[in-house]
């Protein structure tokens, strides 16, 4: 359910509009990160870009995903990246490069893992986190069933 900006206070309506624009910019950048022809490389690039984006925009990430506005306003624009990640997973499955399964579920697992990795780094920066790239590769292997050789 989408809540009209008219039902929000002026500050929240302004923040919501800014978040929507930032989200559009992020979707465009995620799409541009997928430059390879290989579906695994495209999915990997998408997830890595998302993880790096969180690292470079921790405040914006927290407002987009952890703020109270999230709980009060329907942010339908946030559905688009998930649909595109699902399509990327489906391309890997269709090419026989990922384990067969339900692409939407695998996409949600991958997104939860990458968001968790990003959020953890933002909220607990002093922990000895492994390199994000290696962690994303492990997510692809464990959650999507992508063969390690496909990530070389």
3-state secondary structure 104-137: HHHHHHHHHHHHHHHHHHHHCCCCCCCCHHHHHH
Token pair, residue 66, equals: 């952890």
d(CA 12, CA 6): 10
d(CA 149, CA 152): 5
d(CA 73, CA 62): 15
Q: Which of 110, 99, 95, 119 is nearest to 37 (CA)?
A: 95
pLDDT of residue 6: 47
The average confidence (pLDDT) of the chain is: 87
pLDDT of residue 73: 59
Domains (range + CATH), the chain: 7-151 (1.10.357.10)
d(CA 82, CA 50): 12
- Per residue in 76-130, pLDDT (tens digit) is 777 788 899 999 999 999 999 999 999 999 999 999 999 999 999 999 999 999 9
pLDDT of residue 64: 78
Please tell me the pTM assigned to this model. Answer: 0.85
d(CA 42, CA 97): 12
DSSP 51-116: HHHHHH-HHHHHHHHHSHHHHHS--GGGHHHHHHHHHHHHHHHHTTSS-SS-HHHHHHHHHHHHHH
């Amino acid at each position: 359910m989408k809540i009209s900006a008219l039902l929000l206070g002026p500050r929240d309506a302004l923040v919501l509009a800014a978040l929507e624009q930032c989200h559009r910019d992020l979707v465009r950048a995620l799409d541009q990160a997928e430059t390879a022809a290989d579906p695994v490389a495209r999915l990997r690039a998408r997830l890595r870009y998302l993880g790096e984006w969180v690292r470079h925009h921790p405040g914006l990430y927290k407002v987009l995903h952890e703020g109270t506005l999230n709980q009060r306003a329907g942010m339908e624009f946030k559905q688009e990246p998930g649909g595109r990640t699902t399509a990327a997973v489906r391309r890997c499955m269709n090419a026989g490069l990922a384990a067969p399964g339900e692409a939407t579920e695998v996409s949600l697992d991958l997104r939860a893992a990458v968001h968790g990795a990003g959020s953890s780094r933002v909220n607990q920066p002093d922990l000895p986190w492994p390199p994000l790239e290696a962690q994303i590769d492990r997510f692809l292997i464990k959650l999507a069933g992508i063969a390690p050789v496909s990530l070389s």
